[in-house]
Amino acid sequence: MKKKYIISFLFVLAMILFSGKVFGFTVVIDPGHGGGESGAIAQGGELEKDLNLKIARYLRDYLSDYDVTVYMTHNGFSGGELEIFDRAIFAREKNADLVLSIHLNSTETGTANGAEVWVTANTSLDKYNKNMTAFGNKVLGNLGSLGIANRGVKTRLRSDSTDVYSDGTRADYYGIICYSMRGCKIDYGVISPAGAVPAKVEAGEGVPAAIIEHCFLKGTDYKFIDSDADLKKLAEADGKAVVDQFGLKKKKQKGNTPFNDIYLDDWYHDAVKYTYEHNLIKGYNQTTFAPEDNLTRGMLVTILHRMEGEPYVPGVSKFPDVQDTEEYYYVAVKWATQNGIIHGYNNGNFGPEDPITREQLAVMLAHYTQYKGKYEKQTANLNSFKDANKISSNAIEQITWAVGVRVLEGNSSKYLNPQGNATRADVAAMLYKYCTRVK
């Protein structure tokens, strides 16, 4: 292993050892109630547990497009009987960054409407509290744009007098907020038989949690839950808030090529697709393109030769370092030499194994265009590039042409990088531009 890889390896190992998890964000979704516990009943007779489960599944699907690991505390078929405490422990054991308990609201008497989000008021984890309040407001904002009234973000203190057991611990489902946090081991004695407290309860930082009461099950809110499409909208409101508050990134989408290392939003995706489909640049194998690898001068000449239909040319190579007739590039080099596409170095060699620079690539394409009879002299202001002084004096005309026909372009910081090695992605991009803008 090279030194820098050893250092990277040790770094990753350290991250795993010290954090208990590799990188990435983990969400535990808790479909409220379940199993024999149905929750409340909706206006149309639906059970809250079933509606919660649907919202939870839509939320999981929504998040599956993002770089996040999602677990559900239960799937409705098994585990629905989980106690609140066990749901929280599940989240802790997954080293989750967030627990979302999905609910719909109800009142014993009368009607009420609107959404509310409950978050912890445990000040021992202040950084989470602030995040969670902001998060709750985002959820409510998103639900608000569906037309659901905003009842606010609410916090639950252990000292709150309602819904607690006689010893003061949380008795209702709001407990998932508390149990997810560090330092709530006392509650264990209430939920389960008194006695030993498992060490895992105290381990870790705890997990920030929120209970989302999306709307009410009856009355004017019923229209927000009376179809699957509506439930999906509720899930999207939650999902957008998670993505926004915790800065989740979209998962890289595999591109429209056979290569596993080419993604849809790579700047060179279309170029790799085009050059692959036109049989100009092949992959290393069926699944690997290696866009960041360099490409040699011998390979580039071979590609140009391939563009030309691989014509055979008689004679021998004039370059001392291209004498092995078995080399894959031997005929291509002869062809390119005879047609004025390559001239070789001043020392007489061609350097087939040297990585090709961006400037050399542009010059070869200019010569190839001349050979094709398509060359038209261009004007372009090379001084608009910050590194214009790096362009070789004997390549000015060809670089001007390449810039003029937009085969060679600078980066967003206005650097042309003429002496930089062309990566396979660079070559694909320049050939793609050549074929679609010049040819």
Q: Which residues bind Zn ion (CB under 5 A)?
A: 32, 39, 103
**End-to-end Cα spacing for the chain:** 44
Compare residues 39 and 208 and give the one whose CB is closer to Zn ion. Answer: 39
Compare residues 39 and 283 and give the one whose CB is closer to Zn ion. Answer: 39
Residue 296 phi/psi, 5° resolution?
-85, 165
Q: Contact 278/94 with Cβ under 8 angstroms?
A: no
CB of 221 to Zn ion, least distance (A): 14
CB of 213 to Zn ion, least distance (A): 7
Q: E-strand spans in 196-344?
A: 209-216
Compare residues 109 and 347 and give the one whose CB is closer to Zn ion. Answer: 109
CB of 82 to Zn ion, least distance (A): 14
CB of 33 to Zn ion, least distance (A): 6
Residue nearest to Zn ion (CB): 103
H or E element that contains 397: helix 396-404
Compare residues 176 and 248 and give the one whose CB is closer to Zn ion. Answer: 176
CB of 105 to Zn ion, least distance (A): 7
CB of 90 to Zn ion, least distance (A): 18
Amino acid at 168: G
Compare residues 103 and 305 and give the one whose CB is closer to Zn ion. Answer: 103
Q: E-strand spans in 286-353?
A: none
Coil, strand or helix at 306:
helix
CB of 137 to Zn ion, least distance (A): 21
Q: Contact 12/23 with Cβ under 8 angstroms?
A: no
CB of 38 to Zn ion, least distance (A): 10
Furthest-apart CA atoms within the chain: distance in Å? 99
Spatial neighbors of 419 by CB under 8 A, at least 6 apart, are 357, 358, 359, 390
Compare residues 116 and 187 and give the one whose CB is closer to Zn ion. Answer: 116
Compare residues 97 and 116 and give the one whose CB is closer to Zn ion. Answer: 116
Distances (CA, A) of 250 to 62, 254, 263, 272, 310: 11, 12, 12, 22, 42
Q: Contact 358/418 with Cβ under 8 angstroms?
A: yes
CB of 48 to Zn ion, least distance (A): 5
Q: Contact 16/22 with Cβ under 8 angstroms?
A: yes
Coil, strand or helix at 250:
strand
Query: Nearest-5° angle of CA 85, CA 90, CA 94?
Result: 150
Q: Contact 29/59 with Cβ under 8 angstroms?
A: yes
Inter-axis angle of helices 358-371 and 396-404, nearest 10: 80
Compare residues 51 and 366 and give the one whose CB is closer to Zn ion. Answer: 51
Compare residues 172 and 310 and give the one whose CB is closer to Zn ion. Answer: 172
Compare residues 54 and 103 and give the one whose CB is closer to Zn ion. Answer: 103
Residues 408-429 as b/e (b if ≥16 CB within 10 A, e otherwise) read bebeeeeebbbebbbbbbbbbb
Compare residues 42 and 300 and give the one whose CB is closer to Zn ion. Answer: 42
Q: Contact 59/239 with Cβ under 8 angstroms?
A: yes
Q: Among 127, 304, 139, which Cα is nearest to 211's?
A: 139
CB neighbourhood size of 395 (10 A)? 17
Q: Contact 323/317 with Cβ under 8 angstroms?
A: yes
CB of 173 to Zn ion, least distance (A): 6
CB of 40 to Zn ion, least distance (A): 6
